Amino acid sequence: MVCSTKDYQGKPFNLMSFRDMSTGFITEKTKDGRKLKAQELPGLWNGAMAHWNTIFVEVPLDTFNPVKTVTDLLRPAHQND
């Protein structure tokens, strides 16, 4: 992911203008073994990129190797040779 905090003239973006405060959600978490509900306010994906210009670019797997499951660690890119 590439993110620029400045425009093409080097002026900083007002990142607060890209939040949608009407978004968010309730999650269930645990703290010290006790279940609780938490309100998650706009973060990177859940509302903080409202009205953002987004372009998705596919890159070769050898340049980006996310780990989303434990089995992803078995891929050659995550092995020490």
| Cα–Cα distance measured from residue 23 to residue 51, given in angstroms and rounded to the nearest whole number | 13
Q: Using alpha carbons, select from 47, 77, 57, 42 the residue that is nearest to residue 2.
A: 57
pLDDT at 32: 93
Q: What is the CA radius of gyration of the chain?
A: 18
pLDDT at 34: 95
pLDDT, one tens digit for every residue, the chain (81 residues): 567 788 889 999 887 777 777 777 888 989 999 999 988 876 655 566 677 777 778 887 677 777 888 898 888 777 886
pLDDT at 9: 95
pLDDT at 41: 75
Q: Using alpha carbons, select from 40, 48, 41 the residue that is nearest to residue 18.
A: 48
